[in-house]
Amino acid sequence: MYMLIMVLDDTSHLNDVLNAWDQAGVGGVTIIESTGLNRVLQRHSPDMAFVGFSQMFGSGRVGHNTLFTVIDSLETAETAVAATEAVLGDLTEPDKGIIFAMPVAKTWGLTLKR
């Protein structure tokens, strides 16, 4: 088993990525709002006096979504990555996001989607 984790840079693509993961056989995704170091530092820089109304009133992008789930195999992870890139494009390009998988030794209370 593996934990599949994605930090999605552009939150406007969240539903499309979730649908792609569902089609790839990934289920039970937990989503949290998160913010990266660069965005925190940008918010506190002297240039923030000139950000404009969209940032000041909350409609500007300031955060990410972090998605995580437990999957049964690395093959499922590869399928999810391919499905994600079908939505977002090449993940090696800037401002797309990052996906990684980590081994999980044991789970309790989990039924994996097959």
pLDDT digits 0-9 by tens, 58-113: 545 568 999 999 999 999 999 999 999 999 999 999 989 999 999 999 999 887 66
Q: What is the dotted CATH code of the domain comprising 2-35+63-103?
A: 3.30.70.120
Q: How far apart are CA 95 and CA 14, in angstroms?
A: 14
Q: Can you read off the two tokens belonging to residue 9?
A: 């840079």
Judge whether 43 and 62 are in contact, CB under 8 Å. yes
Q: How far apart are CA 33 and CA 11, in angstroms?
A: 9
pLDDT for residue 53 is more than 50: no
Closest CA to 30 of 1, 72, 63, 69: 69
pLDDT for residue 23 is more than 60: yes
HSE, side-chain direction, 13 A CA sphere, residue 23? 12
HSE, side-chain direction, 13 A CA sphere, residue 92? 0
